[in-house]
Amino acid sequence: MPAAQRITGVLSPVVTPFRKDLSPDTDRFVRHCKWLMNHGCSGLAVFGTNSEANSMSVDEKLELLEALVKGGVPASALMPGTGACALTDSVKMTKAAVKLGCGGVLMLPPFYYKGVSDEGLYRNFAEIIERVGDDRLRLYLYHIPPVSNVPITLPLIERLLSKYPGIVAGAKDSSGDWTNTKAMLDAFAKNGFDVFAGSEVFLLDNLRNGGKGCITATGNVNPGPIDNVFRNWRGADADKLQAGITATRNIVQKVPMIPALKAIVAHFGNDPAWKTVRPPLTELSSAHEAQVITELKTAGFSMPGL
C-alpha cells in the first residue's frame, strides 16, 4: 500500500463548543469543522491547545472524533491532539486516531513534570509508537513551551526521526521563536520532517524555508486569507498577503486568545452559545469582546457563510 499523502497547508486547532452544562456540543463542533474545511483549511488539528482539549477526558474527545468522521469530514485531513500526561491515555487516543484513519496526530509531551530529560521524553514517544504498532501512524511533535513548559529539543527530534523515520512525520512549533523554527527546518526539513508554524505570522517565512504550512488558532476565524498566503507564497504579492493576515492576528491576540476566538465565532455566526468555555478558562470580558469585534469590523474582517 503506498503511503498516504501528507497533510500540508493551513490547519485549525478547532475550538470546542460546550453546552450550558459544559458538555461538548457535538453538532456545533461538526458544523464548525465543515465550515473550516470549506473555507480554507486543508486539515483540522482538533484537540489542540485552542480546543481546550486538556480540559476534556479521553472519552469525551473520542466521541467528538468519531462524530466528526461519521459526519463526513475526511479522516485523512484530521490531525487530532493525542498527547497526554499519562502514557496510557496517549496510547489510547493515538490508537483510536490511527484506527479511524486520521492523517496524523499532534502529540504534546507529558507536561506535568518539569525539567525532565530528553531520555525520558524519548522513552515516552517511543513507548507510544511501539504500543500503537501501526505503520500508518504519522506523529507530529507539539512544541509549545510557553504552555506545556516541556520543550521538544532538536536532539530529541533527531533521535526519534532516526529511529522511526516515516512515522515521526513533523512538528508544530508554537514557541513563538522563529529562530527555533528555522533551526528545525534547517536540521530536518530535508529528511521528510514537516514543520508547521504555530502561528500564521510565520507562515510565509516557514514556507520559504521548506516548511509545510501552519497550525494556527486564528485559522478558526480567518482560514480563507491564511490559505491564500499558502496558495500564493511564491507570488509577487506574497508579502502583502502575509501582512494582511498578520494584521488580523494582531487584533485577535491583544486579548485572551481562546475565549476571543469563541466570541468571534459567536458574533459573526450569530450564535452566542459559542462563548461558553470550560474552567479554568473564563469567557472574554465585555470590554475585550467589544474591542476585538470593533477592531475586526473596522479592518473589514468577515466570516463568509458562517
Residues that bind a copy of itself (CB under 8 A): 22, 49, 54-58, 60, 85-89, 92, 109-114, 116-117, 119-121, 123-124, 127, 146-150, 278-282
3-state DSSP percent of the chain in helix, strand and coil, to 5: 50, 10, 40
- As measured in angstroms, the least distance from the Cβ of 155 to a copy of itself is 15
Between 231 and 254, name the residue whose CB sits nearer to a copy of itself.
Answer: 254
- As measured in angstroms, the least distance from the Cβ of 49 to a copy of itself is 8
Distance in angstroms (rounded) separating the CA atoms of residues 46 and 44: 5
- As measured in angstroms, the least distance from the Cβ of 137 to a copy of itself is 18
E strands along 191-295, which residues? Answer: 194-197, 213-215
Between 21 and 190, name the residue whose CB sits nearer to a copy of itself.
Answer: 21
C-alpha cell at 19: 453546552
Return the ∠ at Cα 135 (arms to 132 and 137), rounded to 5°: 60
Between 73 and 292, name the residue whose CB sits nearer to a copy of itself.
Answer: 292
Q: Would you tell me how many other CB atoms lie within 10 Å of the CB of residue 186?
A: 13
Between 152 and 204, name the residue whose CB sits nearer to a copy of itself.
Answer: 152
Distance in angstroms (rounded) separating the CA atoms of residues 221 and 234: 24
Q: Which neighbouring-strand residues pair with 105?
A: 139
CB 197 within 8 A of CB 173: yes
Q: Would you tell me how many other CB atoms lie within 10 Å of the CB of residue 179?
A: 8
Between 55 and 209, name the residue whose CB sits nearer to a copy of itself.
Answer: 55
Q: Would you tell me how many other CB atoms lie within 10 Å of the CB of residue 224?
A: 16
- As measured in angstroms, the least distance from the Cβ of 255 to a copy of itself is 13
C-alpha cell at 225: 486569507
Between 41 and 128, name the residue whose CB sits nearer to a copy of itself.
Answer: 128
- As measured in angstroms, the least distance from the Cβ of 147 to a copy of itself is 6
Instruction: Give Cβ neighbours of residue 129 (< 8 Å, ≥ 6 apart).
Output: 137, 139, 164, 167, 168
Between 16 and 216, name the residue whose CB sits nearer to a copy of itself.
Answer: 16
* Unique residue bearing C-alpha cell 458538555: 23
- As measured in angstroms, the least distance from the Cβ of 22 to a copy of itself is 7
- As measured in angstroms, the least distance from the Cβ of 301 to a copy of itself is 26
Best CA proximity match to 46, nearest among 70, 82, 22: 82
